Amino acid sequence: MDIKIDSKAIKHIMSKDADTITIDLLVAGACIEVGEPIVYVGMPKDDLSKYTKHRISSLDVYLYKGAEPKVKAITVTYKNFLGFKSLGVEGIKLW
């Protein structure tokens, strides 16, 4: 699986003094579940057996098993909305 991390995202991760990110699936809903891919700095909060580990640009990237790219590569991006800095992910199929 091809995973890319843009340069601004790498700078953001390094500014947190981190070398690990997790790409996870946030599932919410009562009657109808909705999934949204999320990215956060740090190790997975769930059991490691639910993730595959990749080494990209000197970073450990944990990707939830079952993630399928809808394009050639999954890309981790940097977002800055009204001063709120975060990471995003593009290119993952949802259900």
Strand partners, 70: none
Q: What is the pLDDT of residue 14?
A: 95
Virtual CA dihedral for 79, 2, 44, 7, nearest 10 degrees? -30
Number of domains in the chain: 1
95 in a domain, yes or no? no
In a domain, 54, yes or no: yes
Q: Which of 62, 58, 50, 56 is nearest to 2 (CA)?
A: 56
Domain that holds residue 84: 3-90
User: Does residue 51 belong to any structural domain of this protein?
Assistant: yes
- Single-letter residue type at 34: V
On whether the pTM is more than 0.85, the answer is yes
Q: Is residue 80 part of a domain?
A: yes
For residue 49, is it within any domain? yes
- Chunked into runs of 10 residues, the chain (95 residues) has average pLDDT values of 93 96 85 81 95 95 89 93 94 81
CA distances from 65 to 3, 16, 24, 38, 85 (A): 14, 26, 9, 14, 26
Q: For the domain that residue 26 is a member of, what is the CATH number?
A: 2.60.300.12
